[in-house]
Amino acid sequence: MTDVAGKNFDEWLANADMPNGKREILKATVKLFAEKGYQGTSTAMIAREAGMSEAAIFKHFKTKKILLHAILQPLVQQLLPNFGEQFVNQVKEHATTIDDLIAYVVHDRYYFLVNNYQVGIILLNQVLVDTDFCDELKQMLLPKLVPGFEQIQQLLDTTENVDSKLVPSDIGKLVIGQFMTHFIGQYKLKLPPEDPEVVINKITTITQRAIRKN
């Protein structure tokens, strides 16, 4: 499988070693799963979107479940683990204060999600309904993120006026919750788009204020 370090899913798909027909099926599947969900998408709909017959779909993917795994597998096995390692190194390089770290994380991960929003929606949906997949994802990512958590804890411990009960995962929850609200509103509810830098600034400011003592 083609290495996807530093790439988004679309780049991986464009460069992966596979027949063009299979590539078109995956592109159509990502689009429909993101728009209508796994349960709301049929193989007939995928065939129409890809411009081919259902028989052609089943030639490459025997079931819809296998199609789902074909989309999530490169994300889970390569893109997310590589993101974990690279992200920890980047955080160490850029963050000297907790506020700097929050600003960097929000900016960097916002654009990561923008570049992978369709697969991100599919991944989120699967995490919510598939406990086995969720456990697999945690086992794969958490060990790679531990060094980053350790650095965050050091910054929390050395920053004045920060809630002493906070742990690194609390900051992650604050940021992820705001990301989810924003991206669901923009991509699922079709709310009017906001300027990316305005969104980033809002999320950064809210998170920085939320970790302070009342």
2 lies in some domain = no
φ, ψ for residue 162, nearest 5 deg? -110, 140
For the segment 86-129, what is each residue's pLDDT rounded down to a tens digit? 777 777 777 789 999 999 989 988 988 888 888 888 888 888 88
**Nearest to 59, CA basis, from 24, 34, 15:** 24
1 lies in some domain = no
43 lies in some domain = yes
Q: What is the per-residue pLDDT for 80? A: 66
- Tokens 């830098």 correspond to what residue? 197
The boundaries of the domain holding residue 41 are 9-210
**Global confidence as pTM:** 0.78
4 lies in some domain = no
**Nearest to 64, CA basis, from 113, 122, 136, 135:** 122
- Span 16-35, mean pLDDT? 93
Of residues 16 and 94, which shows the higher confidence score? Answer: 16
196 lies in some domain = yes
124 lies in some domain = yes
DSSP string, 10-78: HHHHHHSSS-HHHHHHHHHHHHHHHHH-STT--HHHHHHHHTS-HHHHHHH-SSHHHHHHHHHHHIIII
Residue 161 has pLDDT above 80, yes or no: yes
55 lies in some domain = yes
| Percent residues over pLDDT 90 in the chain | 40
Q: Give how many domains the chain has, as a whole number.
A: 1
**Residue 139: which CATH number?**
1.10.357.10
Give the helix, strand, coil percentages of the chain, each rounded to 5. 75, 0, 20
32 lies in some domain = yes
- Is the Cβ–Cβ distance between 4 and 74 less than 8 Å? yes
* Rounded Cα distance, 160 and 145, in Å: 25
Of residues 208 and 69, which shows the higher confidence score? Answer: 208
